[in-house]
Chains A and B, each alone.
Chain A
Amino acid sequence: MAKHKISVTVNGSAREAEVESRLLLVHFLRETLRLTGTHIGCDTSHCGACTVLLDGEPVKSCTVLAVQADGAKVTTVEGLEQGGKLHPVQEGFTEKHGLQCGYCTPGMMMTSVALLERNKNPSEQEIRQAIAGNLCRCTGYVNIVKAVQYAAEKVR
């Protein structure tokens, strides 16, 4: 089976690799690039723990092939902090206790970042709709919503 040379801009830096056709984007990030902030949860495109931004849109990286990301920009949770300063969404999750076990948190934050790029003043319902594809088994979502509201206020 042929290998493919791919170039992906991950968190702002150009990365190149030779990958098998069947390599999933999440494995490319975690194993090839050693960016283990992106989690593998259900591995069946239900839970959203593996959410990353692909050309700015949140997607489940367990259900995207690495070759499909060739030429694209990928942002993972490692790319949120800039110059030692937390992204407002990261700050919100810290300040509002938006996590307990933390497993869903990287995916939850990536979806929230994309939401705030599109809508700087989301209603509670809009936040809940946006994160409908990210499952959290600890918090009951109440503090996650508060964390996103906190971040929204910061980015406005």
Chain B
Amino acid sequence: MIPAAFDYHCPKSLDEAVGLLARYGDGAKVLSGGMSLLPVLKLRLGSFAHLVDIGRISGLDYIKEDGGFLKIGAVTRQATLERSELIRSKCAVLADAVPLIADPLVRNRGTIGGNVANGDPGNDQPAIMLALGATFIVRGNKGERTIAANQFYTGFFTTALAPDDILTEIRIPLPPARSGGAYVKLKRKVGDFAAAAAAVQLTLDAKGAVERCAIALTNAGPTPLEAADAARSLIGKMPDDKSIAEASHLAAAKSAPSADRRGSVEYKREMARVMVARALHKAVERAGGR
């Protein structure tokens, strides 16, 4: 399969890239790893007259701890995250998720920036960004700005990014002591999107009760979905089988999946419940609870 013709641009700096996007407007698309965009172009599900490759701009490929944040450059490849000791030790929810994304060959090209910025509710990292309370650093025509993950996903494949915006960095607040996170995903086979998946990040107080909690779902609606009521139901409670079961029911009730080859609405909602319960148990255990 051959994509419709386009012009490829290879800017060497962010300013140059933003300038190209501003010039070509809706006709241009940012190319990062290309693992979502190139299939779209090949299948002719979409076409753009101009691709602006940000893969050769230096200084966008990093994972670092800085000022209470984990900072990840947008073009950092999934394979790099998978091998990162910093991710393993500081961000269990991401460490859980990365090996479950696509397959090893795709992870050698695919980037975290592409995964979160594409707006695909089937991608795994958007729900994780919601659970972690991440913020996105965006460079546009008028300079740099910050968008909170929970303000970013505005609709199906639609985000708060303007056509001339480039996501440059993902900033994840490092959690306090007694925190734990987990990502649990059900998929039919390697390379598939989730039938259901849940991201959890929580903090326990000195007595072991839940002090902070966030729960988000992948592929459970037109956008990645935060299950705020479910998370709130746990606050102040001991995270035992009963409270976790309650929270996972609330999260499933919030999910709005559509039926496809991965299952019916009822099945997916039930699996969302199971994924949330498992992720909560795992996160509690990692936070040192029980």
Q: Is the CB of A24 within 8 A of B105?
A: no
**What would 25 A/B residue contacts be, using CB atoms closer than 8 Å?**
A1-B6, A20-B5, A21-B7, A21-B8, A21-B51, A27-B2, A44-B1, A45-B35, A48-B103, A48-B105, A57-B79, A58-B104, A58-B105, A58-B108, A59-B108, A63-B106, A64-B34, A68-B34, A111-B104, A130-B104, A132-B103, A132-B104, A132-B190, A133-B105, A133-B106
The chain B residue with its CB closest to the CB of A45 is B39
CA distance A21 to B41 in the complex (A): 12
Given contacts A68-B55, A132-B103, A132-B190, contact A57 B108 (CB under 8 A): yes
The chain B residue with its CB closest to the CB of A107 is B105
Given contacts A45-B39, A45-B106, A65-B8, contact A22 B2 (CB under 8 A): yes
Interface 1/0s, chain B 73-113, versus A by CB < 8 A? 00000010000000000000000000000111110110000
- Whether a CB of chain A sits under 8 angstroms from the CB of B10 is yes
The chain A residue with its CB closest to the CB of B104 is A133
CB within 8 Å of B: which residues of A?
1-2, 4, 20-22, 24, 27, 43-46, 48, 51, 57-60, 62-65, 67-68, 70, 111, 129-130, 132-134
Question: Which residues of B are found within 8 Å of A134, using beta-carbon distances?
Answer: 105
CB distance from A46 to the nearest CB of B (A): 6
Q: Is the CB of A65 within 8 A of B34?
A: yes
Question: Which residues of B are found within 8 Å of A51, using beta-carbon distances?
Answer: 105
Q: Which of B2, B51, B79 has a CB less than 8 Å from the CB of A24?
A: B2
Residues of B255-269 at the interface with A, using a CB-CB cut-off of 8 Å, are none
Chain B: interface residue count, which band?
20 to 34
Q: Is the CB of A133 within 8 A of B190?
A: yes
CB within 8 Å of A: which residues of B?
1-8, 10, 34-35, 38-39, 41-43, 51, 53, 55, 79, 102-106, 108-109, 190-191
Question: Which residues of B are found within 8 Å of A70, using beta-carbon distances?
Answer: 10
CA distance A118 to B269 in the complex (A): 41
CB distance from B3 to the nearest CB of A (A): 5
The chain B residue with its CB closest to the CB of A67 is B8
CB distance from A75 to the nearest CB of B (A): 14
Question: Which residues of A are found within 8 Å of B102, using beta-carbon distances?
Answer: 133
CA distance A142 to B280 in the complex (A): 37
CB distance from A146 to the nearest CB of B (A): 20
Q: Is the CB of B105 within 8 A of A2?
A: no
Question: Which residues of B are found within 8 Å of A57, using beta-carbon distances?
Answer: 79, 108
CB distance from A115 to the nearest CB of B (A): 9
The majority secondary structure among interface residues of chain A is mixed
The chain B residue with its CB closest to the CB of A71 is B56
The chain A residue with its CB closest to the CB of B41 is A22
Q: Which of A20, A62, A65, A129 has a CB less than 8 Å from the CB of B104?
A: A129
CA distance A40 to B289 in the complex (A): 51
CA distance A57 to B51 in the complex (A): 24
Q: Which of A21, A62, A133 has a CB less than 8 Å from the CB of B103?
A: A133
CB distance from B187 to the nearest CB of A (A): 12
Q: Is the CB of A63 within 8 A of B6?
A: no
The chain A residue with its CB closest to the CB of B38 is A63
User: Nearest 4 pairs between A and B by C-beta?
Assistant: A133-B103, A21-B8, A133-B105, A132-B190
The chain A residue with its CB closest to the CB of B192 is A46
CA distance A146 to B229 in the complex (A): 51
Q: Which of B5, B55, B79, B108 has a CB less than 8 Å from the CB of A22?
A: B5
CA distance A105 to B1 in the complex (A): 22
Interface centre among A1, A43, A46, A64 (most CB of B within 10 A): A46
Q: Is the CB of A65 within 8 A of B105?
A: no
Q: Which of A4, A27, A63, A130 has a CB less than 8 Å from the CB of B39?
A: A63
A21-B51, A44-B43, A133-B105 are known; give 6 further A-B pairs, CB within 8 A: A1-B7, A22-B6, A22-B41, A45-B106, A63-B38, A133-B103
CB distance from B34 to the nearest CB of A (A): 6
CA distance A27 to B2 in the complex (A): 10
CB distance from B40 to the nearest CB of A (A): 11
Question: Which residues of A are found within 8 Å of B41, using beta-carbon distances?
Answer: 22
